[in-house]
Structure 1
């Protein structure tokens, strides 16, 4: 074997060794290169060393100690960040493992990992198709989370933050969303128990969406300002003190809903079904209730100033002490309605129909205001024909 072949073989062997180290143990390779360079530099520099050289080395060594301390702290910080990232990735991976698994164990494990991620300020959690019935999710923060197709029947989401969360196709039947913040949430797609396709546009979101059925949901004090809930099924929903200012509820089904003290200023409620709804002390100033069905609705002390109520069905509605200043009630139906102590200053009542059971404020003359006595048209679609047991004098109900 010639010297050239020997050198080539040595070079090839060294190259293979370096490649293996680079792949298997890069730190060992770095140390090997460092010590090789150190040996080369020191061996070539020995003839030139002097006393002053060693003094300079000692000075540099002291500076190097500080450098090592700073670098060590920095490396430790980076390593701790890496540990935290790995830990959060593990939590999300555990959640992913339990998605689509319909068992109580899966529910508990998902909830636990969600809360751990929340402690690390992680909110954009992937929970698509998660099985979370009756889950205790009080105060959880799921801003921007993916909850598409999640099963959340009777889940407790009180005070939860779901800002910009994706809840399209989620099952929320009977869920408690008291004080929950749903600003910008996406709720597209009908639930498996309801076939209705409904649109939602929460808090000026950029895309038109379809909402799940929220029948019976608890939305007490929920923020739904400017929401487009057109045609939404909100039957029996608890919206006590909810913010629905400027909301679009055109043709929405709010039958039996609780809207006590709700803010509905300038809301769109044309042709909405509000039969038996509780609107006591609600703020409906400048709301559009044209042709809305308010039969047997409770509107005591409601603020209806400048509201549009033309053609509205108010049979047997309770309007005691309601403020109807400047309201437009033309062609509305007030058969059996109770307007005792209501404020009707400058209200438009031309063509309003009432019967002997209608109760007006003391000293108020409905005929002079343009109302029409229509005792033969007192049919109530809810309870059938109105009773004629109460006597009337001059078109007013006698007490």
Structure 2
């Protein structure tokens, strides 16, 4: 597109310059020149028509340029999606960095894109300032990563591995975390009220002031977890024996009398 644009701009510049300096051009170059139909009035008409042609070319050029940019953007997104798919099978030490870079480039091109990030490795990284919506992140490995200012909105994070992660200012709005592994993770203040966490494993995790209000906790494991000031009010299918295996339940909130008794018993120790 560069050569046609330069040609149109050059033609437009010549047309405007000749028109602007028409008095000089007509007096110095075409004072009384007549050759057949080529006369001063003929060239005046040519200039008028040239202005119309410039306008038409500019409009058509803008439209073509817009379509060309859209096509190039689609092609680039397609190439990045293929690269992301290939990285699922890539196990070299730089795999997490390459994967994260590809994700960021895709989001820069289309921040509403539902990415396929399943079964990739994003371990030992700092993931921050990301908005992931409707993404398939099934069985992705985040081991020992730091996740800051990341919003997972309506994402599938089933069977994802968050072992040893640190989550800060992270949102999991409407996301599915079934069978996800959070062993030894630091999830203080995490809000899970809109999530599905059945059979998730929070072994040895720090969940201080986390919010499980109204969440279905069927099959969830809290062995050696720190549940200080955690909110379980209205939680469904919460097994009291799972709470009993926690390391600390001081200040835990629950409307289940069985769990309240466990909290009271810990307080007396």
* TM-score (ref. length: structure 2): 0.70
Give the 3 Å change call, closer, same or farther, for CA 185–171 of structure 1 in structure 2. Answer: same
- Corresponding residue for residue 170 of structure 1: 160
Contact 2:249 2:263 in 1 (8 A): no
Residue of structure 2 aligned with 1:233, choices 201, 205, 219: 201
State the Cα deviation string for residues 332-354 of structure 1 (Å, max 9, x = none). Answer: xxxxx27xxxxxxxxxxxxxxxx
- Corresponding residue for residue 129 of structure 2: 139
- Corresponding residue for residue 273 of structure 1: 242
- Corresponding residue for residue 61 of structure 1: 50
Separation in 1, partners of 2:63, 2:94: 41
Separation in 1, partners of 2:262, 2:64: 73
Residue of structure 1 aligned with 2:149, choices 159, 166, 171: 159
- SS of 1:160's equivalent in the other structure is strand
Give the 3 Å change call, closer, same or farther, for CA 170–86 of structure 1 in structure 2. Answer: same
Shift of 1:225: 0.6
Give the 3 Å change call, closer, same or farther, for CA 220–271 of structure 1 in structure 2. Answer: same
| Equivalences for residues 201-350 of structure 1 within 5 A | 210-230=178-198, 232-250=200-218, 252-268=220-236, 269-275=238-244, 276-282=246-252, 284=253, 287-292=254-259, 309=260, 312-313=261-262, 316-318=265-267, 337=268
- SS of 1:68's equivalent in the other structure is helix
- Corresponding residue for residue 192 of structure 1: none
- Corresponding residue for residue 91 of structure 2: 102
Separation in 1, partners of 2:263, 2:54: 86
> Gaps spanning 5+ residues in structure 2: where?
1-36
State the Cα deviation string for residues 314-340 of structure 1 (Å, max 9, x = none). Answer: 57421xxxxxxxxxxxxxxxxxx27xx
Q: Does 1:86 align with 2:43?
A: no
Shift of 1:118: 2.6
Contact 1:179 1:220 in 2 (8 A): no
Contact 1:230 1:249 in 2 (8 A): yes
Shift of 1:230: 4.7
* TM-score (ref. length: structure 1): 0.49
Comparing 64-73 with 148-157, which one deviates more in the overlay? 148-157
State the Cα deviation string for residues 136-182 of structure 1 (Å, max 9, x = none). Answer: 32333322222223233223223322212222333332233333222
State the Cα deviation string for residues 270-323 of structure 1 (Å, max 9, x = none). Answer: 5242235434445x2xx333433xxxxxxxxxxxxxxxx4xx3457421xxxxx
- SS of 2:86's equivalent in the other structure is helix
Residue of structure 1 aligned with 2:172, choices 172, 182, 203: 182
- Corresponding residue for residue 372 of structure 1: none
State the Cα deviation string for residues 48-86 of structure 1 (Å, max 9, x = none). Answer: x9x999876654432222121122222223322333333
Give the 3 Å change call, closer, same or farther, for CA 288–159 of structure 1 in structure 2. Answer: same
Q: Which has the larger radius of gyration?
A: 1
Contact 1:236 1:257 in 2 (8 A): yes
Separation in 1, partners of 2:184, 2:136: 23
Contact 1:164 1:183 in 2 (8 A): yes
- SS of 1:162's equivalent in the other structure is strand
* Runs of 4+ more than 6 Å apart: 51-57
Separation in 2, partners of 1:238, 1:65: 68
The aligned length equals: 229
Bigger helix share: 2
Shift of 1:224: 0.8
Give the 3 Å change call, closer, same or farther, for CA 272–248 of structure 1 in structure 2. Answer: farther
Contact 1:252 1:272 in 2 (8 A): no
Comparing 230-239 with 93-102, which one deviates more in the overlay? 230-239
